[in-house]
């Protein structure tokens, strides 16, 4: 009887003790991602999964909701609505310097890079019956240029500017979200969709296998000029055979997906997040096929234009990587 009483007491004390400590220290952080069918969503979910495994030690509870994409994430981090987010390297550069979509807001000086993730290709998929074979064939067609806030929208606008096009060159310029466009393509509501995304990707797979469609080359002088002019663009290739209907390699250009934050997010938080990813790197790499070739030392540099966050620097120095 006595023994039970003591045990109960101890258990109660333990319960209260633990609850009290957790409540005081628990810190909720959010990572902005992209559409649920993209790779950013997997990046955010994977990082949170690894962070949350150590919640008992560091008290950080991480969530990674679906968002509008790169531009939306950068704006939300600036507004203090998100602590971290995934963003294309071109949009990271433009936010830092107050260009493109970020012109009105001006330079985002508090923006900090944490690491880069996978490469992303500017990907155009067209219905076979549309007759579209090159990017220039999109003229006069129904094209989904993406939701405002997405990276694909920002990047196609950069390419269109280089070509001297505006949306009036299209028969229809729709603004569907990334997660909606494969179905719209196969329902014959649009002729082509645009997605800046890592490969292989479920949404492109859906478009390629649910109806007859092809991956369209995006090359020529305007693309060459973008790549020459700007450090954050590079030529890229979508491997032949990856998607049904496209057996040959498709040339295009691309960016890096990068993980960013701001000086507002404490060094300790970023340190724990970076530690969770790189201490469990083999596990992280297995969470999406687009992560297969990731190399930590390259991830500290590739595609980053904002200064590194101090919390990330602390971890990289501990590892002897810098
Ligand atoms: N690159 C896209 C964007 O910035 C997102 C791609 C993805 O979700 O994987 O909006």
Which SS3 state, helix, strand or coil, does residue 53 take?
helix
CA of 191 to the centre of ligand 1 (A): 21
Give the Å distance between the CA of 68 and the centre of ligand 1. 8
* pLDDT of 8: 44
For residue 160, name the pLDDT band (cuts at 50, 70, 90).
Answer: very high
Q: Which of the two residues, 285 and 3, has the higher pLDDT score?
A: 285
Mention the CATH class of domain 120-255.
Answer: alpha beta
Contacts of 222 by beta carbon, 8 Å cutoff, 6+ apart? 159, 162, 163
User: Is the CB of residue 150 below 6 angstroms from any atom belonging to ligand 1?
Assistant: yes
Specify the pLDDT at position 25. 66
291 close to ligand 1 (CB < 6 Angstrom): no
28-117+257-318 CATH fold: D-Maltodextrin-Binding Protein; domain 2 (3.40.190)
Q: Give, for 43, the enclosing helix (H) or strand (E).
A: helix 40-53
Distance (angstroms) between ligand 1 centre and the Cα of 20 equals 40
CA distance 265 to 219: 39
C-alpha distance across the termini of the chain, in Å: 61
Sorting pLDDT into bands at 50, 70 and 90, what band is 26?
confident
The reported pTM is 0.92
pLDDT at residue 2 in the model: 43
Residue 88 in contact with ligand 1 by CB distance below 6 A: yes
Q: Flag whether pLDDT at 311 surpasses 90.
A: yes
CA distance 241 to 157: 29
Query: Which atom number of ligand 1 is nearest to the Cα of residue 120?
Result: 1
Ligand 1 in contact with 34 (CB < 6 A)? Answer: yes
Phi, psi angle pair for 88, to nearest 5°: -65, 150
Query: Which position has the token pair 């900090």?
Result: 112
| Ligand 1 midpoint to CA 120 (Å) | 8
Distance 13 CA to ligand 1 centre (A): 48
Taking the centre of ligand 1 as the mean of its atom positions, its distance from the CA of residue 40, in whole angstroms, is: 6
Q: Do domains 28-117+257-318 and 120-255 have the same CATH topology?
A: yes
pLDDT at 62: 98
Q: What is the pLDDT of residue 73?
A: 98
- Residue 151 in contact with ligand 1 by CB distance below 6 A: yes
Mean pLDDT of the chain: 93
Residue 32 Cβ < 6 Å to ligand 1 = no
Q: Can you read off the two tokens belonging to residue 319?
A: 């590892």
What's the pLDDT tens digit per position in 42-98?
A: 999 999 999 999 999 999 999 999 999 999 999 999 999 999 999 999 999 999 999
* Residue 84 CB neighbours (<10 A): 26
175-186 pLDDT tens trace: 999 999 999 999
Neighbour-count burial of 93, counting CB atoms closer than 10 A to its CB (0-12 exposed, 13-18 middle, 19+ buried): buried
Q: What is the mean pLDDT of residues 204-213?
A: 96
Say if ligand 1 is within 6 A of residue 37 CB: no
> Residue 153 CA: which ligand 1 atom is closest?
10
Protein residue closest via CA to atom 3 of ligand 1:
151
Which atom of ligand 1 lies closest to the CA of 70? 4
- Domain extent listing, the chain: 28-117+257-318, 120-255
Question: CA nearest 52: which of 66, 64, 38?
Answer: 64
**248-281 pLDDT per residue, tens:** 999 999 999 999 999 999 999 999 999 999 999 9
């Amino acid at each position: 009887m006595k023994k039970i009483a003591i045990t109960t007491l101890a258990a109660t004390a333990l319960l209260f003790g633990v609850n009290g400590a957790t409540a005081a220290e628990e810190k909720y952080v959010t990572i902005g991602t992209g559409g649920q069918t993209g790779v950013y969503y997997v990046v955010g979910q994977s990082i949170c999964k690894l962070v949350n495994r150590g919640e008992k030690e560091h008290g950080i509870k991480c969530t990674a909701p679906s968002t509008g994409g790169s531009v939306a994430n950068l704006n939300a981090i600036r507004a203090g609505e998100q602590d971290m987010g995934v963003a294309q390297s071109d949009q990271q550069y433009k936010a830092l310097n107050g260009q493109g979509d970020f012109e009105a807001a001006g330079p985002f000086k508090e923006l900090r890079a944490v690491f880069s993730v996978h490469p992303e290709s500017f990907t155009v998929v067209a219905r076979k019956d549309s007759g579209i074979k090159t990017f220039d064939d999109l003229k006069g067609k129904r094209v989904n240029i993406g939701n405002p806030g997405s990276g694909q929208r920002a990047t196609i606008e950069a390419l269109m500017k280089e070509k001297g096009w505006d949306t009036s060159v299209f028969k229809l310029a729709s603004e569907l979200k990334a997660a909606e466009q494969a179905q719209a393509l196969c329902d014959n509501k649009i002729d082509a969709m645009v997605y800046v995304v890592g490969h292989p990707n479920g949404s492109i797979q859906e478009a390629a296998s649910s109806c007859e469609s092809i991956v369209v080359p995006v090359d020529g002088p305007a693309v060459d000029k973008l790549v020459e002019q700007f450090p954050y663009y590079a030529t890229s290739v979508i491997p032949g055979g990856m998607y049904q209907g496209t057996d040959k390699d498709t040339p295009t250009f691309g960016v890096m997906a990068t993980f960013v934050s701001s000086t507002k997010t404490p060094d300790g938080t970023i340190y724990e997040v970076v530690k969770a990813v790189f201490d469990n790197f083999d596990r992280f790499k297995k969470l999406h096929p687009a992560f297969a070739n990731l190399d930590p030392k390259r991830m500290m540099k590739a595609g980053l234009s904002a200064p590194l966050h101090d919390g990330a620097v602390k971890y990289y120095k501990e590892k002897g990587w810098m």
